[in-house]
Each structure stands twice: as C-alpha cells, then as structure tokens.
Amino acid sequence: MMRFQNRVVIVTGAGSGIGEAAVRLFLSEGAKVAAVDWNEESLANVERMLLPEYRDQLMAIVADAANLSAVEQMVNGVVGRWHQVNVLFNNAGIEETDSITETTEAMWDRQITINLKSVFACSKFVIPHMQRARGGAIVNTASIEGIVAEPRGAAYVASKGGVVMLTKEMALDYAADNIRVNCVCPGWIDTPMARRSIAKHGGLERMMPEIQRLQPLGRLGTPEEVAKAVLFLASDDASFITGTALMVDGGYTAQ
Amino acid sequence: MVVLPQLGGKIWSIEYRPHSREWLWHNPRIDVGLAPFGAAFDDYWSGGADVAFPSCYESTWNGWKVPDLGELWSIPWNVSHTFLPDSVTLTLTVGGRIWPVEVQRTITLNSHLPVVNMTFKITNVGSQSFPFLLGFHPAIAAEPGYRLDLAPGNVKVDEGTQEMGDIGQEYSWPYLAKSESDRPRDMRIMPPYTEGSYGGHFFRPSTAALWWAITDPKEQSGIGLVASINEWQGLWIWQVFGGWRGYYHVAVEPWTGYPITLHEAVKLNSARWLAPHSNYQATLTTVCYEGIDHVTAIDIDGTVFS
C-alpha cells in the first residue's frame, strides 16, 4: 500500500519510539518525510539506518519543536525543498511523573512546553501551507492520560489533556479548510521513554509483569502499533474523521 | 562562525577555513565580555560584528533616549538553531528595552557555499509609530595594502583626520582630492599604520547595487557583503589606520538611513518609520572568496565578480 505517495510528512520526536516507527511506516508507504528531533544523536541514528534505502525521501532536521523560531525555520526548510506539507505528526514529548507538590517549576514548564506548546508551534507554521494546498492532516500524540488521570502525573496528565482538547479545537477551526486534526492516545507502549519511566518507578523487572497484568490484552503495545493508527488517521482512509481521540491502549481505558 | 547570543547576538568570528583566515577584527586591548546597558559602545568594543538599532550615535526622540550604537548590542538575545541537511540556521530574538520592538534575526550558513545569509525582522509591538535606523556593524581585520572595493557611488566625509578628506566634502568613489591641484588619493588602498589617520564617510550607490569587498591582494582572498538598496540606503565606512585610539581596522556598515544619528535622520526625513503591529524586514548576504585580488561586483546571491 502506498497511501502517501507524493505527500510530504513532518514527524516530530522522530529520534526514537513512536516517532521513529512512524517515520519508517510513512517512508514505506511512499511519503517524503522530514524527521525532526532536538536530539542530534538519536536522529543521526535514525538517519543512518534509513537513508541508504530512502535517500530521496528522508530529510533529518535538528530543531526544538517547541521553539517557534526554530520551527519556522524547520518548516521553511521542508517547504523550500519539497514545496508542501500534507501531514504533520506532532509527536515530540517527554514524561516526568510526580504529584503537584513534588513537581518543580522546571518539570512543569518542560512538560507543558515539549508536550503541548510543540503542538501549537508546529501547527501554527504548517497550517498555512495546508490551507494553500486546500487540505491536510494533523495527528497529535496525546495519551490515555489525556483521558483518564493516573496518580503522580500532574504535569504530564495536564499536558496530554491539553493535547486532546487542542486537537478538538483545531479540528473545528480548520475543518472548513479540509484540514483534519486527530490525536492518538497510546496506553502502555514499549518505548525507551516508557522503559525509563518504569525503571524509575520500581524497576523494570519488578514492575513490567505487573503492568502487563493490568493490560486487557496482556502485554504492552509496540511503537509500530501506534504508528499504524497514526498512518490511518493521516490517510484518506480516515477522510471523515476529525476531532477524535483514538485510544491505542490494548483496552486499558475500557476497564 | 561564532555567534554570542548573550553579548547582543554579536558575531564574534567569521573564519574562512580553506585559508584558516579570521576576517573579523578583535580588539587587542578590550576582551570580549558583557557591557552594562547604556554604556558607550567604543569603550567596550571587543570587535566582531554587532547590530545597531535604532541609532548609531546616542540620540533622543520623543523623550526616549537611546544609548551609543543603540540598545540591542549589550543585552542578551534568545537563540534557537535548526540543522537542515544543507544549512544551519540560528534564530536570535530580543525585545527592546526602550523602543517597543521585537527583533528577530536569522543567520544561515550553507554547507556548500562560503555564504552567510542574514535576515532582520523588526516588529512594532507598541501603540504608536516610531522612527528608527538599523545598521550592521562588522569590524574587519584589515591590514596595510588591503583593498576596499565598493559599488559605483558617491561618498560624503563626515568625520576624521585631514588625510581622509575635509568634513562635509563629497567625492565619487574611489578618488578623493582635497583640491583641484591635489593629486587624488585612491581610497581603495589601505595606508600604513604610521599614517595615523581615520575617517567616517557615508557612501550612497549610484546604481541599484549595494555591496562592498575587502581583499587581501597578496593572499588573494577576501570578504564581501551585498544588500538590497530597497532595504538599506548606503554604507557607513569607518576606516581606522592608526588614528583613532591607535587601532587598525575597517567597518563597512549597511544602514537604513543617513545621518546615522537618529534625531538627525528624523530631521532630514531619512529615518524609517514603523506603524504599530507592522514590521520591517531586511536581508544581508556575506561572502568569502579567493583567487582574485580585487572585486568588480557582487550579485545579490553572493556571486563575486572580478
């Protein structure tokens, strides 16, 4: 299936996990992909792995997705080379969990900035290009924690709740421009970020079986499974879907 | 290139790597460092290239007093970077403390060309229109025998020692004659340090081209800058050959108006005005080159002709 032939896709947080998986899938379906991350090293690894096969389809860009100036330059660079942007996958994110009283101002600012402000920043500069092209699709990475709160996740839960509501708001603002805006809400996904978080809260060996037991499907999801949902929402297969938050959580929030 | 966002977004170094050649002048007596807001620029001038806004010399407009070289060179700028496959862009932003402005400057270095593109965007975030001058102040590490080439145009002598012309005198670049009987001085060739001269001249191009180039004829390499006459009115040529504080350097500065003191520019209707919520945009292109001993033109994209 080549659903993204001749389409230009920007993926933020492309250096690992769900972002990296999405880059691979978009490329495999014919898209030209601008892979954006502020971590030069992880982005270089992705580039090294994918460039031999997708030399003309892949552009790696080091930029802070939450910094408006950097994002403006990044989008200019993509449009300068490929003349359009058809899909934006706002995926940059971090997780530093704690309760309100234990959350420092720096932790709060970091998570709100990277998880929520990056959606604002990238969308702000991409949407005018989508409007000129008379359409496009934006997919944001929210979280199950944007729908159901979990303890000791104040800033993360607030940021992801913000992403869900911003998704709905943008969907309304730009429906008339044929720009669809949706988000995915991953549950427990086996990513480097999730592993870091689990290791910090009780250790991987001890916590992993317990977390698996909490999943109706009995396992963690994979980045590829989330990326497939992202591609669905970004594709014409989802042409009548906008403003939705799609759970990709193995049934976790159905309980 | 080395850029110091904390020091007014100063460009500290432009090195042409094939020749290991540093083109920006560094003050041998003043180390690079922070200056207090409102300081006299010359007393803290460590070298490099600075942004001047909204005046070169100290000035007052509407009761708003602006320091020497303006208000942006001594305050920290925010910075972000974007690495694309064939270029890197720094974006520097700062807000004015006196003038109600937001200033954004991008500096883009291409991986395959010795060309640096710089853009300025100045936005009025206040509630009334105001006048301004914008200048870019690159101090070049020139030496005796180096050559300064300019687009065709006319020059006015504003200040300096008598070797560099009489105050108020005008001449067509590059020959300066003090009287009809006087042998004209070729202003393109830089004199020895022992001359002890200096001058501040303002250059206006007679064609649509606005560019300058400083060449080391022995090494056959140089640095040049090109700008659009629609955005910049001319060049302030600050040449010091031992005569001002004992230095030797040349700064050829594009300015959006003249005179380069704001209240004087306002009086002569030469300052630009910015309405609330509007912005002013301008670009500059800097290029390093080699293999030639003089320059006859620089295209707006940075292509150098000899």
Residues in chain B with CB shorter than 8 Å from the CB of A59 are 84-85
How many CA atoms lie less than 13 Å away from A126 in the CB half-sphere?
Answer: 32
Q: Closest CB to A70: pick one of B81, B85, B87.
A: B81
Give yes or no: residues A41 and A154 share one domain. yes
Site of tokens 């080549």: A2
For chain B, the residues whose C-beta falls within 8 A of a C-beta of chain A are 78, 80-85, 87, 89, 91, 93, 104, 106
pLDDT of residue A186: 97
Is the domain of A100 the same as that of A209? no
Q: Which tokens in the block code for residue A226?
A: 């989330």
CA distances from B35 to A33, B6, B44, B76 (A): 45, 11, 6, 11
**Which pLDDT value is given to residue A97?**
82
Which residues in chain A have Cβ-Cβ distances shorter than 8 Å to B82?
61-63, 70, 73-74, 77
- Cross-chain residue pair B82–A59, CB shorter than 8 Å: no
How many CB atoms lie under 10 A from the CB of residue B52?
A: 24
Rg (CA), chain A: 17
Identify all chain A residues contacting B3, using CB atoms and an 8 Å cutoff: none
Q: What is the pLDDT confidence band of residue B122, given thresholds at 50, 70 and 90? A: very high
Give the Å distances, CA to CA, from B165 to B71, B170, B179, B215, B247: 31, 9, 10, 23, 19
What is the Cα–Cα distance from B173 to B152, expressed in whole angstroms?
Answer: 7
Q: Is residue A254 part of a domain?
A: no
Query: Which residues from chain B sit within 8 angstroms of residue A63, using beta carbons?
Result: 80-83
Which backbone phi and psi does A58 adopt, to 5 degrees? -120, 135
Helix H segments across chain A? 17-28, 40-50, 68-82, 105-111, 118-132, 154-174, 192-200, 204-213, 223-234
User: In the numeric block, which tokens belong to residue A8?
Assistant: 């230009």
Q: Per the domain annotation, does A13 fall within a domain?
A: yes
Please report the pLDDT score of residue A194 as a whole number: 83
- Residue A255 in any domain: the answer is no
| CA-wise closest residue to B55 among B96, B113, B5, B90 | B96
* pLDDT for residue B182: 78
Q: Mean pLDDT across the stretch B46-67?
A: 97
SS3 B4: strand
Looking at the fold, whether A44 and A66 belong to one and the same domain comes out as: yes
Mean pLDDT taken over chain B? 96
Residues A117 and A133 in one domain: yes
Residues of A in contact with B104 (CB under 8 A): 69
**pLDDT surpassing 90 at residue B207:** no
Share of residues in chain B with pLDDT > 70 (%): 100
Q: Are residues A87 and A179 in the same domain?
A: yes
CB contact under 8 A, B82 and A73: yes
| pLDDT above 80: residue B181 | no
Per-residue CA distances from A30 to A6, A11, A79, B168 (Å): 7, 15, 18, 67
Tell me if A63 and B104 make a contact (CB, 8 A cut-off).
Answer: no
What is residue A6's DSSP assignment?
T
Write the DSSP symbol of residue B26: B
The angle subtended at Cα A140 by Cα A135 and Cα A142, nearest 5°, is 155
B80 → closest Cβ in A40, A61, A69: A69
- Average pLDDT on B225-229 reads 96
Per-residue pLDDT tens, chain A, 255 aa: give them. 799 999 999 999 999 999 999 999 999 999 999 999 999 999 999 999 999 999 999 999 999 999 999 999 999 999 999 999 999 999 999 998 889 999 999 999 999 999 999 999 999 999 999 999 999 999 999 999 999 998 999 999 999 999 999 999 999 999 999 999 999 999 999 988 888 878 877 788 888 888 899 999 999 999 999 999 999 999 999 999 999 999 999 999 999
A156 is annotated as an active-site residue: yes
Residue A243 included in any domain? yes
pLDDT at B169: 95
Which pLDDT belongs to residue B235?
A: 98
Degrees (nearest 5) of the Cα angle B4, B78, A154? 135
Q: Which position has the higher pLDDT, B207 or A24?
A: A24
Contact between chains at B91 and A63 (C-beta distance less than 8 A): no
Domain total of chain A: 2
Two structure tokens written together for B113: 């060309």
Task: Verify that A33 and A80 share a domain, yes or no.
Answer: yes
* CB–CB contact B83 A62 (8 Å): yes
Q: What angle do CA B48, B54, B55 make, to 5 degrees?
A: 75
Q: Which of B82, B90, B103, B123 to mutate to test the interface with A (most CBs of A within 10 A)?
A: B82
What is the reported pLDDT for B194? 96
Looking at residue B183, what is its pLDDT? 86
Domain region containing A30: 8-186+222-247
Quick one: three-class SS letters along A204-250?
A: HHHHHHHHHHCCCCCCCECHHHHHHHHHHHHCHHHCCCCCCEEEECC
Say how many CB pairs under 8 Å bridge A and B.
40
Q: Are residues A134 and A198 in the same domain?
A: no
If asked whether residues A203 and A170 sit together in one domain, one would say no
Read off the pLDDT of residues B145-157 as tens digits, 9 standing for 90 and up: 999 999 999 999 9
The shortest CB-CB distance from A70 to any of B82, B85, B87 is to: B82
In a domain? residue A155 = yes
Q: In this structure, is residue A52 part of a structural domain?
A: yes
A164 and A214 inside one domain: no
Give yes or no: residues A21 and A105 share one domain. Answer: yes
Q: What CATH code is assigned to B2-305?
A: 2.70.98.10
Per-residue model confidence (pLDDT) at position A21: 98
